[in-house]
Structure 1
């Protein structure tokens, strides 16, 4: 009596779930090979059903392919939906405005969410710090950039922080950060070692130059 039930379970696992996984993987491959197709699909979806989720998905896809100026209007329109949590979209706007070098807008939107818990020690705060640096507010910039000096994370950002500190004549602080990154790199997993290989090499090179 259990055989028909077992047969159904096997069918669901081998046919239904695998088919769904295959379709998802196929969509991801297509989006990588032909990102414009993904954009067109998302644009059509938004035209068919104009929802917050569809608009943000389109904006995210545009951001992924560095179409920042096209992504920004969609994020701005999404922000008009007061029923949604605006942190995610504001965070993405900060990224987009930074990439088009509109540092005043980075600061404007960062200051809208800077009191939220998620902002603390986030990439948004890091970009806020860099924008403040661009506008010559060095003390406030340093205060925000230092927040991302967290062990076993933010390797690229901490390298940027070290360079910032060198430019502010705070070389000992910069060396401490660089030395910590090198120590941490010795305990990295293989995937992380591959991802941050270039960063670690640059850290070693910069530290060697400082020690000359």
Structure 2
């Protein structure tokens, strides 16, 4: 019996270590660290469900109504929080708010010094920095930042990967851009990525290839489950509109 208890103890400790490491990589330790440590089993299971499994499924957006109607107030609150407590988590939250509000240079000014030392390879922060650089047409910087996070588990299906491919295209590297778009292409999934691949092909004058990409999306749409259909509806509708334009 003691052998079983010993093994159980090591499994829990190992699970805690994994969750803590993952939390630090994603910059969410301020929210999760004490839960994982003080409630080993429940905390680890809650973390795995909320931060790991949820990222592989569909995320339900948390809508901040105050931010929708008065984004400036939210930014002011986050700026005050950072002045009060200069933590990585507070920096990233503020930078994210700047980026969402379209203040790309402000976001960059916060992301860059935050993504150093122990947080130099933080997946979320680097992915957001890729987007901010691209928005400011700093394509070389966007490409460099993307390469730092390229091998991260969530990057392949992220918005940052789309932006990386587009940055390569804008930087005069269409062959590398297409390689990245193809890496994101998968049947019955990745509809946003595939839509942007179709747009890339259109810009390259390859209308037949673009029609094939959009057509495949339309063929697959009726076979999607309810959740996948809901989350992909925008991109399926966009593909449908593009096909109409191209066939007119």
Sort the TM-score into its range (normalised by shorter chain).
0.7 to 0.9
Spell out, residue by residue over 1:23-61, the C-alpha distance to the aligned partner (whole angstroms, 9 max, x if none).
xxxx92222211111111111111111111111111111
Larger deviation, residues 151-160 vs 33-42: 151-160
Spell out, residue by residue over 1:77-109, the C-alpha distance to the aligned partner (whole angstroms, 9 max, x if none).
111242565222111100111112211111111
Residue in structure 1 matching 2:191, options 155, 166, 169 = 155
Residue in structure 2 matching 1:173, options 172, 195, 209 = 209
Contact 1:55 1:78 in 2 (8 A): yes
Aligned to 1:24: none
Contact 1:52 1:81 in 2 (8 A): no
| 1:113 is aligned to 2:154 | no
Change (3 A) 1:165 1:67: same
Aligned to 1:39: 75
Residue in structure 1 matching 2:109, options 62, 73, 76 = 73
Q: TM-score, structure 2 length as denominator?
A: 0.65
Contact 1:56 1:78 in 2 (8 A): yes
Shift of 1:197: 5.0
Shift of 1:200: 3.2
Contact 1:63 1:96 in 2 (8 A): yes
Aligned to 1:96: 132
Give aligned pairs, total: 186
Asked which structure has the greater CA Rg, the reply is: 1
Q: How does 1:15-54 map to 2 (within 5 A)?
A: 28-54=64-90
Larger deviation, residues 176-185 vs 147-156: 147-156
Whole-angstrom CA distance in 1 between matches of 2:151 and 2:230 = 35
Whole-angstrom CA distance in 1 between matches of 2:119 and 2:238 = 45
Aligned to 2:180: 144
Larger deviation, residues 76-85 vs 106-115: 76-85
Change (3 A) 1:53 1:171: same
Whole-angstrom CA distance in 2 between matches of 1:156 and 1:130 = 13
Aligned to 2:38: none
Aligned to 1:184: 220
Shift of 1:196: 5.3
Larger deviation, residues 51-60 vs 147-156: 147-156
Aligned to 1:8: none
Whole-angstrom CA distance in 1 between matches of 2:105 and 2:96 = 12
Whole-angstrom CA distance in 1 between matches of 2:192 and 2:152 = 24
Larger deviation, residues 74-83 vs 135-144: 74-83
Q: TM-score, structure 1 length as denominator?
A: 0.75
Gaps of 5+ in 2: 1-62
